[in-house]
Amino acid sequence: MARSPLEYRTDVWVDWCPGCGNFGILAAMYKALGELRLPPDKTVIVSGIGCSSKTPHFIKVNGVHTLHGRAIPFALGIKLANPELTVIVNGGDGDLLGIGVGHLVALGRRNLDITVLLHDNRVYGLTKGQASPTLDRGLRPKALPKPNIHDAVNPIALALASGFTFVARGYALMAEHLKELIKMAVRHRGAAIIDILQPCVTYNNIHTAEYYQRRIYRLEEGVWDPVVRDPAERREKMLNAFSKAFEDGDKIPIGVFYQDPARDTMVDRFAERLPKYLESPPAHQKIEDEGRPIIDGEIFRKIFSNYVVETE
Amino acid sequence: MNMRKEVSLIVGGPQGAGLETTAQLLTASLARMRYGVISDREYFSNIVGRHSYIHLRASSEEIPRSLTYPIQIIGAMDHETVFTHFGDIEAGGAIVYDLSTEDKSLDNIPSMEKDLTSRLRQLFSSLGLDGSIRGLIRHVSSEMKVLPVALNYPELIMRIAEKISLPAAQAPRYVSAVVYGAIAALLGLSFNGIDYAIKMRFRERGDIVSINRMIVGEVYQMVKDKYDLPFSLQPSGLDHSEIMVVSGNDSIAMGKIVAGLRFQSYYPITPAADESFTLEANERISVEGVDLGAITVLQTEDEIAAMASAIGAALTGARAATCTSGPGFSLMVEGLGWAGMNEVPVVVTYYQRGGPSTGQPTRGSQSDLLFALHASHGEFPRIVITSGDHLEAFYDSIEAFNLAERYQMPVIHLLDKFLANSIATMPLPKLDHVRIERGKLVKEAVGERKRFDSSYPIPPRYLLGSGAITYHAGDEHDEMGHIDEDPENREKIYRRRMEKLRLADEEVPEEKRVFYYGDEAAEVLLVGWGFVKGVALDAIEELKRDGIRAAYMHLKFFSPFPSRFAKKMLEKFEAGKVISVEHNYLAQAAVVVKIHTDVKIERNIVKYTGRPIYLSELVGAVKKILGGERRVVLTHGP
């Protein structure tokens, strides 16, 4: 039985602009969390800075609203110290692909079991409409004094190249579809990212709801199988995903681009080195006994015997 | 024969030629014979080829606390070492050098910095020397009665190599063994001690143990037979049965392990990275097959992520830290502010090096004190602790975690390269009195909880994963952790946050934060911190022998600053008789002292070349200050 999405609402007023794409994403999250029955105390939403990064305050699970661009490394520490927690990152395109893009790449390399929800509206909202890293060159949304001088980064291709093992794209105004993607991403073992296209009603007068409505189609409607079922398929599936990633313009695909469920995660990698890692992760280890360190003089002498010189 | 109480020596050679191994072998063999040792490693930011050296002091009476000049022995792995250090040798000292380099000239040493080459060229021309090793050795042996211990390194090694059919290409890596063998002989070390050190250094690598033993043994015997061990140390008066040989990085890593560190993130940087290596090597804390715990050591993509992930781990209740140096800390400061705002106990182990910018990456410095105290925008409380020596640093690294958790704030453990890279003998720490204090940790709770409950000076710390639901924000927040800019809320929560430092100031005894050493009736007071401690303590003893009664005030905590104790001490002295001794230009500790005590320290002795303050130069500088100078800038050391 799913939990009611209402169980995940806080009483904090949601202060996004009326009509903001973030509302659709938030609605999809409430539903996805409910259907996944995620226990609020074992779930952590970590965010950066920006409109979308206010999300943790609106969801009744643990919330960590961090610094611009740094949600991923905060999430990294949380997940590695306590792998039983479900960790979800919410951040904008400026946050995750601009100032924090190095961390996004590093998360892929680690394939750590974290879900990244990338709110992609191609502008910086809170600072009044500047170009974000997903805005194409030459475009000029209404707040820009001059057309954008930078080329856009392709979030799907970047995620694939970085090593994310679940890469998808959703659309904020197709909440039911997005909810399913979020559920898949959270269930996926490994680094997962959903590039969520969203209109910014205040500053982006180019990529509007109408713009997306005309272009978006679902990958799963055609012949499309993004799942790697055998390591031998990796290359082919990855190349297919790259090819789809660059399909832009008149038709914009949404859905799962790539999924490789068998790759070991960073938690697996540590568990291999530290046999009790899962049963006793950093957060749960006993480090003292009635106020005394668990390492006494005798144990210390044994642990560091390599440094001890017995004198003549 | 007159035996020595102590000896100072330098072993030099190109970076990458095994100098560190030589230092470890020398220290271990001296330690085996119960001598106290301290050694500084000076090197460039370079992997292979640039001049690097070990400056070591060993004593039969104590564990030496400082380095000094002149030295009695130079062990030169190459001719650049002879040129670089001959000026620091005592009359009657010895130079171990490679006879096959006799014709080498100062004019063709590309690795030597132009400044030094030109200074030496000038000196040689004034002395009428031709710039060759041969000429220089002749000069120092006639003018300074220096004993030339000339060994043909390549020939020696090849002779042994042939016996054991060692490939010729491998021969150069045994130069360090030749130098070690010669020095060990000059010092009159026992072969048993040498053997012990070789086994300790190379452990399971039996082939390397045996080759080293052969070369070292041969050279040792040769030097022993030819010279009458002129620098023999008298039997040690120290009476321990075991001792540790550690670097500062090691002793701090050990302290963190005892403290219960469970998550360490870092980005590689000199001179901090070795600490993380020691931690990673000991990630599985197990004794006789029983696992006592495990540390997750994570190399991150940058220092920003190192700081952020350590904070994340701390939110779950793991004792978490990161370690870095100045450039890395510069990147961490935004995260530091978040930790302050969200009352997260995270420890930053901060090894200072020469700045600004890349500065002198491999040289020491104490120029980041004001930065550590004030880094990050806005106001938030932090604890800043510094340590004077290896053992102090060990205990302080445990205290850092206790205070971080007790007061729920970031703690900066501020150290320096001098300590980080000094290899020294250190007594085994006593752990009977060590306590682990975890503060107001809540491991089990239910439902939404006020993480920032203002009804307490320090609120209960609900952990992520504890069963509670909590919120955190870098924005100003309400008690629940949600964004709140209401002026009354702002005032209340801001004040409570800031007041934690006042509480720490009331609760942590000042006697644990500042120390007074020396004569109660002293007339001169040296004020210092960090690695200055050792040289200052040695200086007050030496000054006493010269009839000057000096004392030393060692500042350990800079936040919360021990203002009452410090003020009381400072006011006992005449204004012109208080001298701050620091490794920076501004005399930064004096600035902090002025802020907190309103006492202006008007005299200072500073050094910012990146080399340690040597006992010899500090004693001289104090005398200059007493003679009327206001400031002495020290520069000794190549």
Q: What is the pLDDT of residues B159-210, one digit of tens each?
A: 888 888 788 888 888 999 999 999 999 999 998 999 999 999 888 787 888 8
**Token reading at B555:** 């500042």
d(C-alpha A23, C-alpha A28), whole Å? 9
- Secondary structure (H, E, C), B128-148: CCCCEHHHHHHHHHHHCCCEE
Best B196, B252, B296, B297 member to test A by mutation, with max A CBs in 10 Å, is B296
Do B135 and B204 fall within a single domain?
A: yes
Mean pLDDT across chain A: 97
* CB contacts, 8 Å: A67 with chain B: 308, 334-335, 338, 474
User: Within this chain, do residues B358 and B458 fall inside the same structural domain, yes or no?
Assistant: no
**Is B1 within a domain?**
no
Do B421 and B450 share a domain, yes or no? no
What does the longest C-alpha to C-alpha distance in chain A come to?
85
Q: Is the dihedral of CA B588, B592, B598, B601 positive or negative?
A: negative
Query: Does residue B231 sit within a domain?
Result: no
Q: Kind of pairing, strands B346-352 and B242-247?
A: unpaired
Between the alpha carbon of residue B558 and those of residues A248, B375, B566, the distances in Å are 58, 14, 11
Q: What is this model's ipTM?
A: 0.98
A170-174, B67-71, B215-219, B509-513: least confidently modelled range: B215-219
Question: Is residue B272 located within the same domain as residue B217?
Answer: no
Model pLDDT for residues B360-383, shown as the tens digit of each residue:
999 999 999 999 999 999 999 999
B491 has a pLDDT exceeding 60: yes
Mean pLDDT of chain B: 96
What pLDDT does residue B240 have? 95
Closest by CA to B405, choosing from B474, B345, B464, is B345
Q: How many domains does chain B have?
A: 4
- Output the domain CATH number for residue B180: 3.40.920.10
Q: Which of residues 198-227 of A touch B (CB under 8 A)?
A: none
Examine residue B432 and state whether it is found in any structural domain, yes or no: no
Predicted TM-score (pTM) of this structure:
0.98
Domain that holds residue B575: 513-634
Q: Structure tokens of A148?
A: 């954008």
Out of B31, B260, B293, whose CB is closest to A309?
B31
Q: Kindly state whether residues B397 and B539 are assigned to the same domain.
A: no
Q: Where are the domains of chain A?
A: 5-266, 274-304
Q: Enumerate residues 291 to 310 of chain A having a beta carbon within 8 A of any beta carbon in chain B.
A: 291-297, 299-304, 306-310
B234 lies in some domain: no
Give the pLDDT band of residue B229 (cuts 50, 70, 90): confident
Q: Are residues B132 and B261 in the same domain?
A: no
pLDDT of A10 above 70: yes
Statement to judge: residues B455 and B578 lie in one domain:
no
Give per-residue pLDDT as tens, A85-121.
Answer: 999 999 999 999 999 999 999 999 999 999 999 999 9
* Separation in Å, CA A265 to CA A163, A220, A227, A272, B266: 11, 27, 17, 11, 20
Evaluate whether residue B179 is within a structural domain: yes
Interchain pair B465, A41: CB under 8 A: yes
How confident is the model at residue B1, as a pLDDT?
Answer: 57
Architecture of the domain delimited by A5-266: 3-Layer(aba) Sandwich (3.40)
> What is the per-residue pLDDT across B526-562, written as a single tens digit (0 to 9) for each?
999 999 999 999 999 999 999 999 999 999 999 999 9
The verdict on a CB contact (< 8 Å) between A303 and B434 is no
Of the residues B507, B528, B547, the one at which a domain ends:
B507
pLDDT of residue B163: 85
Out of B203, B241, B334, the one facing A67 most closely (by C-beta) is B334
CB B471 within 8 A of CB A57: yes
- Identify the pLDDT of residue B398: 98
Whether residue B314 has pLDDT greater than 90: yes
Q: B 230-289 residues with CB below 8 A of A?
A: 240-246, 250, 254, 257-260, 262-263, 265, 282-285, 287-288
Closest partner CB to B318 (pick from A84, A282, A301): A282
> Is residue B492's pLDDT more than 70?
yes
Kindly give the interhelix angle for B175-186 and B153-163, rounded to the nearest 10 degrees.
Answer: 110
Domain boundary among B507, B538, B559: B507
Asked whether residue B433 is assigned to any structural domain, the reply reads: no
Put simply, whether A39 touches B (Cβ < 8 Å) is no
The radius of gyration of chain B's CA atoms, rounded to the nearest angstrom, is 26
What phi and psi, each to the nearest 5 degrees, are found at residue B517? -120, 135
| SS3 at position B186 | helix
Q: Are residues B383 and B452 in the same domain?
A: no
- Over residues A196-204, the mean pLDDT reads 97
Q: Do B262 and A287 touch (CB under 8 A)?
A: yes
Residue numbers in A near B235 (CB within 8 A): none
Tell me which of A86-95, B230-239, B371-380, B497-506 is least confident.
Answer: B230-239
Distance CA A80, CA A76 (A): 6
Question: B302 and B178, same structural domain?
Answer: no
Does B235 map to a domain?
no
In-domain check, residue B233: no
Whether residues B132 and B174 share a domain: the answer is yes
What confidence score (pLDDT) does residue B170 get?
A: 83
Q: pLDDT by residue (tens digit) across B319-365?
A: 999 999 999 999 999 999 999 999 999 999 999 999 999 999 999 99
